[in-house]
Amino acid sequence: MVVKKLANVGIVVLSFVLFHQTKTAAEVQGARIDSSQQIAETIIESDTPVLVDFWAVWCPPCYKLNPIIEELKEKYSDRILFMKVDVDVHKAIAQYFGVTSIPTVFLIHDKNVIEAIPGVRSKDYYIDRLEALLDKATEDQ
């Protein structure tokens, strides 16, 4: 089920670069992305599914989720792009996605939000959702 199409965004201008070098999920994983514009471009230009973790420095549950996300990143970083978005720094992105509580994890494929997962769940829950996301990505190819 598609929740929200990530195109024609009014809050954050999402622009495509006509001649850009496509990076793999592994190449982007270690890069620091500082602006909301760069975050948006990275999400919409990704050839792989994207997991976006909305968090904040002052959020204790976010720190509880972080080790789970790091373990998932180790397992899936070759097939899924992992991004962390600080809601206090990137308010426009958080507002566009409709983030009302943190942590919230968004699973995105082909510019579409496939699922939003609020709160902290078990590692097995996230693995199940990521496997479903990868299955969908494979079906769409």
Q: Rounded to 5 degrees, what angle do the CA atoms 21, 74, 109 make?
A: 50
Q: Residues 56, 59, 120, 134: which is the catalytic one?
A: 59
Known catalytic residue at 59:
yes
Give the Cβ contact number of residue 27 at 10 Å: 11
Known catalytic residue at 62:
yes
Task: Give the up-direction half-sphere exposure of residue 130: CA atoms within 13 A in the CB hemisphere.
Answer: 25
Phi-psi region at 20: left, alpha or beta (left = phi > 0; alpha = psi -120 to 50): beta
Q: Residues 62, 65, 83, 107: which is the catalytic one?
A: 62
Q: Tell me the backbone φ, ψ of residue 119, rounded to 5 degrees.
A: 80, -170
Active site residues: 59, 62
